Chain A
Amino acid sequence: MYIGAESIVSPLGKSAEDVFRKISSGITSLAEKRGVIQSSFTPNELELLPLMRESILESISKINKDYLSKTRTLLIVSTTKGEINLINSNISKAHLYYLSHELSHEFDCIDKGIVLSTACVSGLQSLIIANDMLSNGFFENVIICGGDLASNFVIEGFTSFYALSSAPCKPFDKDRKGLNIGEAVSTIIMSKNENIFNYTPFRFLGGCSINDANHISAPHRDAEGLIRSIENSLEICNLSVEDIDFINAHGTATVYNDGMEATAFSKLGFNNTPINSLKGFFGHTLGAAGVIEVAVSLQSMRNNLLLECKGFNSQSFEKELDILTENRKLEINTILKTSSGFGGFNASAIIQKI
């Protein structure tokens, strides 16, 4: 299926192109606010819905809208906490389906709206499920909109876990000390029809999400779930490790998560494949993460420019990985995206240039 029309609404900027321009020149939106390093709007956004509306509008401006209206279009909202800031004042808006209901009523071209919520893999899993729904003929187009806010709710929660870093995060670095929360919304459109996109789309080849059945909040020591997920995705796409030109990893910058991912990449033989995590630019954006990180990676493919793994200096993994210390000009055809999260979920998917 075809994938493109990516949009981003984030503290870094309000279009995918603008955000890519900024982060490719090394700009990060991570900054201290009320004693916590985070990537957030100033002032912090209270509500998610207006940001989602804005992001969907940007994506729709990049496609043939008439085609979207004439054919069956599904909206998948990917979020972990939705309008969590309203939990005390308006419990009905704090229900996650409020977002898909509102958006599918506002946009005439949307025939059905659903919400997917599987922690940090929500975004990538939404893209995978969009692809599955298209391949099986249930819809012609899918709009995937991922978003979450840097709410007090999640910052307090991750603080209690001792998961937050008191400095800007350092994904895959030997001195990594934890993650930073970020708020953002990102939208991507997938379609069976290559011709609806104003800019050349890419091919979403497939993916899957596998549970490691190990622990609800700790990554699997041997990376069993992630390894199986990547192996399955390669098999689904009929590709091998050598076919992957670049990996956009999850890379939250917690000790255990990044260690688990490095183990998976090493065991699978990805030691010479360029790898980055984008969390050093805009933090861990939770339900938006898979979508915004794929959006940036599509921009990377459009520009043939791999981005540095911001915050990373040196590694101490058993076998060295090619983690990007600076931007690299490279013609990339096939990329692997991975995400792992609470509940033991490990998602992976493969995207290719047409």
Chain B
Amino acid sequence: MTGIVFNKSETSVKFSNELLHLDIDIFLKKMYSELDLDYPKFFKMDNLCKLGMIGTELLYRNNIELFNNKKKIGIILQNKSSSLDTDIKHQDGIRKKSVSPATFVYTLPNIVIGEISIKHKWQSEGVFFINEELDYELLSQYSNILLNGNRTEINIVGWVEVFKNQFKLHLGILAKSTSTEKLKEALS
């Protein structure tokens, strides 16, 4: 399990080994209380959304001046397993004849973008790609398309993956001025 959140100051926040070896549920709970999130909706979310929320919160808090006064914040995410972690739970529900709409709504990978947008009231462009590995080329190409077309002012870009107890979080900010090479190093 790895977790990196990349900041504008070009230093990355790496989670300690101790944290990363925790069971995912415990890791997420611990991060929630460490960040003092005070956002009860968090506990309704599936783990993919929780992980994306934690990553975005870290990025946001470490770069508040960058987000200030900006309205168009794009979110470009990718992972390997889509929402399969929750899909399996929904499939189990079908087998046990106890299907829950509260689970079903999380059987889509882009819900994490919805949750982040709601939390921060960001009404902007977002997209979710799926690939076996992080495709930095695609993420940076699309990020630059949005930035250069003035469709967004800054973008949250990266990898948010959860499958069973395995998780991986590599997130960064891309602005017109960002050093893409350093971000690539950190994300890849």
Interface size on B, residues (CB 8 A): 48
**Residues B123 and A342 in contact, CB atoms below 8 Å apart:** no
Contacts of A166-225 to chain B: CB distance below 8 A: 208-217, 224-225
Mask of B1-44 contacts with A, CB within 8 angstroms, 1/0: 00000000000000000000000000000000000000000000
Of the candidates A88, A133, A156, the one having the most CB atoms from chain B within 10 angstroms of its own CB is A156
**Residues A159 and B99 in contact, CB atoms below 8 Å apart:** yes
A80 to B135, CA, bound (A): 20
Residue A20 lies at the interface, judged by CB distance under 8 Å to chain B: no
**Contact pick for B124, options A114, A115, A210, CB 8 Å:** A210
Interface size on A, residues (CB 8 A): 52
Residue B167 lies at the interface, judged by CB distance under 8 Å to chain A: no
With contacts A87-B88, A136-B141, A213-B123 known, is A160 near B110, CB below 8 A? Answer: no
Looking at the complex, which of B61-69, B100-108, B175-183 is the stretch in contact with chain A? B100-108
Of the candidates A80, A133, A344, the one having the most CB atoms from chain B within 10 angstroms of its own CB is A344
B109 CB contacts on chain A under 8 angstroms: 117-118
Distance of B26 from chain A, by nearest CB (Å): 25
**Contact pick for A117, options B108, B115, B122, B135, CB 8 Å:** B108
Of the candidates B88, B123, B142, B145, the one having the most CB atoms from chain A within 10 angstroms of its own CB is B123
Q: DSSP class of B's interface residues: helix, strand, loop or mixed?
A: mixed
**Residues B90 and A157 in contact, CB atoms below 8 Å apart:** yes
Looking at the complex, which of A25-33, A91-99, A259-267 is the stretch in contact with chain B? A91-99
**Contact pick for A217, options B99, B105, B113, B125, CB 8 Å:** B105
B107 CB contacts on chain A under 8 angstroms: 81, 153, 157
Contacts of A77-91 to chain B: CB distance below 8 A: 80-82, 84, 87-88, 91
**Contact pick for B87, options A119, A153, A210, A212, CB 8 Å:** A153
Residue of B nearest to A96 (CB): B130
**Residues A211 and B123 in contact, CB atoms below 8 Å apart:** yes
A224 CB contacts on chain B under 8 angstroms: 123
A14 to B134, CA, bound (A): 36
**Residues B128 and A97 in contact, CB atoms below 8 Å apart:** no
B58 CB contacts on chain A under 8 angstroms: none
Given contacts A136-B145, A136-B148, 20 further A-B contacts (CB under 8 A): A80-B108, A88-B91, A94-B87, A96-B130, A117-B110, A117-B130, A118-B109, A118-B110, A153-B87, A153-B107, A158-B104, A160-B101, A161-B104, A211-B124, A212-B123, A216-B111, A236-B151, A342-B111, A343-B110, A344-B114
Listed A/B pairs (29) with beta-carbon separation below 8 Å: A80-B108, A81-B107, A87-B84, A95-B80, A95-B130, A95-B132, A114-B135, A117-B110, A118-B113, A119-B108, A132-B142, A132-B145, A153-B91, A156-B94, A157-B99, A157-B104, A161-B105, A210-B125, A211-B113, A211-B124, A211-B125, A213-B121, A214-B118, A228-B123, A232-B151, A236-B149, A342-B108, A343-B111, A345-B114
Residues on A facing B (Cβ under 8 Å): 80-82, 84, 87-88, 91, 94-97, 100-101, 114-119, 125, 129, 132-133, 136, 138, 152-153, 156-161, 208-217, 224-225, 228, 232, 236, 342-345
